[in-house]
Amino acid sequence: MSERTAPFYCPYCGEEDLRPSEEGRGAWECASCNRAFRLSFLGLLAAGLRRDDAETGERSGRHDDD
Q: What angle do CA 4, 54, 43 make, to 5 degrees?
A: 75
DSSP letter assigned to residue 5: -
Closer Cβ to Zn ion, 19 or 63, answer by number: 19
Residues 26-45, interacting with Zn ion (CB under 5 A): 30, 32-33
10 makes contact with Zn ion (CB under 5 A): yes
- Piece of 1-9, 23-31, 43-51, 54-62 that binds Zn ion (CB under 5 A): 23-31
Buried b (16+ CB within 10 A) or exposed e, 14-46: eeeebeeeeeebbebbbeeeeeebeeeeeeeee
In the bound state with Zn ion, the residue whose beta carbon lies nearer, of 10 and 25, is 10
Residues that bind Zn ion (CB under 5 A): 10, 12-13, 30, 32-33
